[in-house]
């Protein structure tokens, strides 16, 4: 195949994109108005939406990657993500556990143009969270780990390469399911979300951890058998915004009480190219002899990621650090965002 669409079609038959865990995108055909503009079918790059005889959508669970692209394409709610906010609110109200929030770097601007990390923290504490951490801090830790993995794994700068595992679960599934011959190059690091849950629970074994971000696929990642247990609930920014509204909390009115300790490197993970920039900068500082020949390449959107991987596989592209994000622009373009990707200011 010589273009990404053909690459995707070639594998459609093989039903390979299922995440191997509970589906988190669900169809509600009763809500469908058969609008066709824009259709949920065209929003799904994997061909996972089918129509029944009445034109209503259903999801082929074997093809669905839980990316959630289709959710924003339907203004009538005929496609939606499974939400966990009822059990979460119960837990916060019953005060049975210390509940931590791990907030993704793409939060900037989502709850109001000038809402700071400190105001978001105050808002979450008001809801009943015990403490709030930035997932970007754990992205910082994973960046350092990936810089050392690059040093160890890429022996021949021209031909070897490392594929980052930070932080898009769809990117990893795309490789494992459609490019298994490249899977040996994937960094063994977990995503910053999983790292945040594991570190918090190492320090506080009875704590519960809620990841809050723009991503629907993270709901699925948190349930994967080898990662399960690190994160208890995943909320999108849209879901959190609904909870704030119901609780009459406006983050813009809350005090700015920041406790952030993440760096620039962790915060730029929210945009495509952020991981490469962070690892490149870390190499310059920690292993400068490897920084000179560090050649990153990045792609976003499933079709472009597919094309990039195909080019790497066929040797058309010379690069030794490969980054892919399933959403256009990176996580700032995730389906659970509140503002358009171009306004995301990580
Ligand atoms: Fe989720 Fe970000 Fe990947 Fe989109 S790019 S699927 S928001 S991790």
Rounded to the nearest angstrom, the distance between the alpha carbon of 79 and the centre of ligand 1 is 18
8 Å CB contact between 57 and 36: no
Q: Is 332 buried (19+), middle (13-18) or exposed (0-12) by CB count in 10 A?
A: buried
Pocket of ligand 1 (CB under 6 A): 67, 167-168, 170, 214-215, 217-218, 325-327, 330-331, 334
CA-CA distance, 157 to 128, in Å (whole number)? 50
Model confidence pLDDT, tens digit, residues 119-172: 999 999 999 999 999 999 999 999 999 999 999 999 887 789 999 998 899 999
pTM of the shown model: 0.90
Q: How wide is the angle at C-alpha 167 spanned by C-alphas 126 and 49, nearest 5°? A: 95
Instruction: List residues bridging with 25 in a β-sheet.
Output: 81
Rounded to the nearest angstrom, the distance between the alpha carbon of 93 and the centre of ligand 1 is 30
Atom of ligand 1 nearest to the CA of 214: 7
Domain 25-81: give its CATH code.
3.30.70.20
Domain 85-137+191-260: give its CATH code.
3.40.50.1780
Domain 138-190+265-333: give its CATH code.
3.40.950.10
- Range list of H helices, 180-323: 192-203, 217-221, 237-246, 264-267, 274-286, 288-291, 302-313
Model confidence pLDDT, tens digit, residues 69-127: 888 888 898 998 888 888 999 999 999 999 999 999 999 899 998 899 999 999 999 99
pLDDT value for 5: 44
Model confidence pLDDT, tens digit, residues 227-249: 999 999 999 999 999 999 999 99
ipTM exceeds 0.90: yes
Share of the chain above pLDDT 90, in %: 63
Report domain extents, the chain.
25-81, 85-137+191-260, 138-190+265-333
Rounded to the nearest angstrom, the distance between the alpha carbon of 339 and the centre of ligand 1 is 15
pLDDT value for 54: 83
Query: Based on C-alpha coordinates, what's the Rg of the chain?
Result: 20
CA-CA distance, 50 to 60, in Å (whole number)? 7
Rounded to the nearest angstrom, the distance between the alpha carbon of 288 and the centre of ligand 1 is 30
What the block records as the tokens of 13 is 């038959």
């Amino acid at each position: 195949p010589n273009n990404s669409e053909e690459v995707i079609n070639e594998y459609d038959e093989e039903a390979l994109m299922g995440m191997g865990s509970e589906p988190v995108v669900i169809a509600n055909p009763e809500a469908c108005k058969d609008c066709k503009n824009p259709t949920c079918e065209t929003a799904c790059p994997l061909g996972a939406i089918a129509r029944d005889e009445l034109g209503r959508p259903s999801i082929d669970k074997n093809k669905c990657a839980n990316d959630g692209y289709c959710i924003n394409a339907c203004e009538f709610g005929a496609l939606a993500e499974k939400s966990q906010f009822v059990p979460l609110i119960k837990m916060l109200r019953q005060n049975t556990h210390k509940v931590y929030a791990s907030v993704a770097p793409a939060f900037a601007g989502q709850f109001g143009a000038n809402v700071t990390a400190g105001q978001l923290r105050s808002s979450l504490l008001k809801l009943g969270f015990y403490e709030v951490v930035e997932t970007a801090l754990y992205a910082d830790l994973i960046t350092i780990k990936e810089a050392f993995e690059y040093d160890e794994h890429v022996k021949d700068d021209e031909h070897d390469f490392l594929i980052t595992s930070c932080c898009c679960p769809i990117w990893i599934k795309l490789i494992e399911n459609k490019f298994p011959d490249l899977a040996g190059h994937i960094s063994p690091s977990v995503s910053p979300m999983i790292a945040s849950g594991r570190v918090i629970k190492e320090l506080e074994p009875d704590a519960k951890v809620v990841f809050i971000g723009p991503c629907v696929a993270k709901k699925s990642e948190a349930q994967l058998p080898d990662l399960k247990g690190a994160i208890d609930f995943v909320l999108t920014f849209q879901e959190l915004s609904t909870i704030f509204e119901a609780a009459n909390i406006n983050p813009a009115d809350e005090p700015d009480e920041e406790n952030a300790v993440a760096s620039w490197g962790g915060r730029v993970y929210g945009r495509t190219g952020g991981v490469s920039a962070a690892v490149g900068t870390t190499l310059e500082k920690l292993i400068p002899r490897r920084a000179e020949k560090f050649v990153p390449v990045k792609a976003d959107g499933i079709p472009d990621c597919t094309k990039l991987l195909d080019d790497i596989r066929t040797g058309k592209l010379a690069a030794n650090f490969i980054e892919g994000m399933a959403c256009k622009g990176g996580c700032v373009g995730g389906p659970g965002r509140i503002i358009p990707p171009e306004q995301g200011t990580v």
